[in-house]
Structure 1
Amino acid sequence: MKLDASQRIPAMLSFIQAADRGSFAAAARALHISAAAVSKNVAGLEQTLGVRLMNRSTRSLQLTSEGQTFLENARAAIDALDHAVESVSRQHAEVEGQVRISTGNAFGQHYLLPLLPKLRQRHPGLRLAIDFDDHRIDMVRDGYDLALRGGMIEDSSIISRAVCPLHTILAAAPSYLEQHGVPQQISDLDHHKQIAVRFLNGKMTTWNLKLRQGEINRPYPREPDLTVSAPESAVQAAVMGLGIAQVAVHHSWRYLRDNKLKIVLGTFHEAGNRQMVLQYPHRALIAPRVKATVDFLLEELAQTESLHVPLASLAAFHA
């Protein structure tokens, strides 16, 4: 049975949700219809198009190449339709309801939480549910509206908006450097106490050291004297004079300004190209409560000094 014009939009929505969520059952829950209805909609869409859009088994769905192409075009079509509706109704929409946010522990505590009073003052109808968790998440599966995460994630169902660069430096306390000396080349690190970060998943963060040929070498830290599971703890340990640590500029900026940390081996260290991004599921129509939160966070975080320190300005803080 081929679909008439009135059936095509429900069928496209069923297909998009099934592709994003990985099953007809999950799509059905999102659309508040039965799994059988989702299956019927997708089958009718395939019959109308004359191609198979996805291969399905009892456990998984896999898009065909034609399905992947159609998914991109279907998103654009639904986006255009919803934009037309949204442009008329947005001015009457109320910014209210719950916004569920996932964020890393350190960034959330230091940068997100302080913004909440101003956000609530601007939009008193918002209710916020925030999970502070450094583990990898699946936004669609786990039901989050927004996430603040480090690194660009390539996922067609996720939109990523850049918040700030996540540059790193090697740093130590002046008191430590007075006692142990300032390293002048990479090999000097073998004679210094090193502070490492090993996350709870067992992965250790390596130091981005540049070889003379311009290549990036990552052998350090070697046999660290102290290992911690959180980057912000490495900053605190360095401030206390326990050794040299690779730390994020935004975590260490206030200590650099207060002369509690100094940058070492600046010419041998690569700042990196990772970013903090604000992410939200690719939806044709973003709820006013979500869009208002996105706009507010991007605006406020863009004005936060420690998140946007120019690399050139760090030269003043070298040991």
Structure 2
Amino acid sequence: MDSSQRVRAILSFVQAAQSGSFAAAARSLGISSAAVSKNVASLEQGLGVRLMNRTTRSLKLTAEGLAFLEQARIALDALDAAVDTVAAQRVVPAGRVRISTSAAFGRDQVMPALPGLLERHPALSVEVDFDDRRVDLVQEGYDLAVRGGQLVDSALVSRLICRLNMVLIASPAYLARYGVPRTPQDLPQHRLIARRFLGGRLSPWCFRLADGSLDEREPAPAVITVSAPEALAQAALAGLGIAQVGIHHAWPHLRAGSLKVVLADCHHPGTYEMALQYPHRALLAPRVRATVDYLLEAFARDEALHVPLTALRAFTA
């Protein structure tokens, strides 16, 4: 007897024992009396003992039947409790949520959102890994990831957070010393700050030409090259040169006056996006659904993630 047949047989036995007849058990289960009788007989044969004595008028449990009924009720109660627990989580999300995010976005955007998430859903616990490499969500056991770049993974559900627009910035002190570049052709005479991706490739800078085409070039020669995007803004703040950064990294420094935008009229902001991703699933766990919904709300309220390009004019050198 396989597991599904065993479960049907146990349900037939318990219903027959509780109702006192195969006919009553059949009505409760929505099957025929013959099917109930066959299920109980199969259970007895599998156990090798008689569980109940039948007459045309009544059923009477044997000693073995009484003992088995007691244990079967415990098992069925446990199944009911498991169903109730999962059903309750649709109302009160509970359990651990594993999140993968980059170091910079995790520190500046994800972490500030977590207190509100845990206040709204106190039965949740959150585990966050800060890792700039591309992770395999399913293979490595993550519930969701916050990723930036050019996202093409169709095996995942992607919920857009924002366009990840890039901007060229430098400190007022650097510009006072070395001058303000007016065209991309001026850049080779400037000190440039480059970012190297984990794969070794430099992050290119892109400019719009007069004919509408795009000119993509590496920032070379670079006075300093870093791998962390937030380090680009730090280097520019220190007056080391001109850097290309995500606007969300530069925004508070632009508003404070400690950085200025350069070449805004011809610099192309790129085609990068920031998205929240999770595996395709027919039924998304309530704990994950609640986390996804809350983070998207929090990111929508984050001013630095939604700065319009037109707003940069006020901060141009």
On whether the aligned pair clears a TM of 0.5, the verdict is yes
Could you tell me whether the CA contact under 8 Å between 2:204 and 2:217 is conserved in 1? Answer: yes
- Cα-to-partner distance string for 1:112-159 (whole Å, 9 max, x where unaligned): 111111111111111111110010111111111110001353334310
* Structure 1 stretch displaced more, 276-285 or 211-220: 211-220
Which residue does 2:177 correspond to in 1?
Answer: 179
DSSP-derived class of the 2:217 partner? coil
TM-score normalised by length of structure 1: 0.70
Q: Which amino acid aligns with 1:181?
A: G
Aligned partners of 1:157, 1:167: CA distance in 2, in Å? 25
Larger radius of gyration: 2
Could you tell me whether the CA contact under 8 Å between 1:104 and 1:132 is conserved in 2? Answer: yes
Aligned partners of 2:211, 2:204: CA distance in 1, in Å? 19
DSSP-derived class of the 1:155 partner? coil
Could you tell me whether the CA contact under 8 Å between 1:156 and 1:282 is conserved in 2? Answer: no
**Residue 224 and residue 165 in structure 1: after superposition, are their counterparts in 2 closer, same or farther (change >3 A)?**
same
1:243 pairs, out of 229, 241, 251, with 241
Residue segments in structure 2 that go unaligned for 5+ positions in a row? 5-86
DSSP-derived class of the 2:234 partner? helix
Residue segments in structure 1 that go unaligned for 5+ positions in a row? 1-5, 7-88
Q: Which amino acid aligns with 1:246?
A: Q
- What are the within-5 Å matches in structure 2 for residues 1-319 of structure 1? 93-151=91-149, 153-319=151-317
Shift of 1:212: 1.9
Aligned partners of 1:190, 1:223: CA distance in 2, in Å? 7
Aligned residues, how many?
Answer: 234
Could you tell me whether the CA contact under 8 Å between 2:102 and 2:147 is conserved in 1? Answer: yes
Identity of aligned residues (%): 51
Could you tell me whether the CA contact under 8 Å between 2:89 and 2:287 is conserved in 1? Answer: no
Aligned partners of 1:136, 1:244: CA distance in 2, in Å? 28
**Residue 133 and residue 92 in structure 1: after superposition, are their counterparts in 2 closer, same or farther (change >3 A)?**
closer
Aligned partners of 1:215, 1:205: CA distance in 2, in Å? 19
Shift of 1:164: 1.0
- Cα-to-partner distance string for 1:159-194 (whole Å, 9 max, x where unaligned): 000001100111100111011111111111011000
Which residue does 1:34 correspond to in 2?
Answer: none
Shift of 1:213: 1.8
DSSP-derived class of the 2:205 partner? coil
